[in-house]
Amino acid sequence: MFAALWVEVAYRPPYWLHAVIWLPTIVILSLVLLPLFKSLFFASHFHNNAGDDLTDRAP
């Protein structure tokens, strides 16, 4: 977000250039960072012993 704003203020590129630059950047970063955040999510659940906890509750 800040990078796009900085590029807009500093260089004033046309909107199609923003699309060419930022859409692939967002897609690539999302695909690269997804496994990292997914593994952190699972590690957090494992560390905190989180689970369904449906079998331990009494009706």
Mean pLDDT of the 31-59 span? 83
pLDDT reported for residue 18: 87
Question: Which residue from 32, 13, 36, 38 is spatially nearest to 3, judged by alpha carbons?
Answer: 13
Residue of 48 and 32 predicted with greater confidence? 32
Tens of pLDDT, residue by residue over 1-30, are 788 888 889 999 898 998 998 899 999 999
Residue of 18 and 58 predicted with greater confidence? 18
Q: Coil, strand or helix: which one is 18?
A: helix
Tell me the C-alpha distance between 12 and 6, whole Å: 9
Tell me the C-alpha distance between 38 and 30, whole Å: 12
Q: Are 6 and 21 in contact (CB under 8 A)?
A: no
Tens of pLDDT, residue by residue over 26-44, are 999 999 999 999 999 999 9
Tell me the C-alpha distance between 16 and 22, whole Å: 10
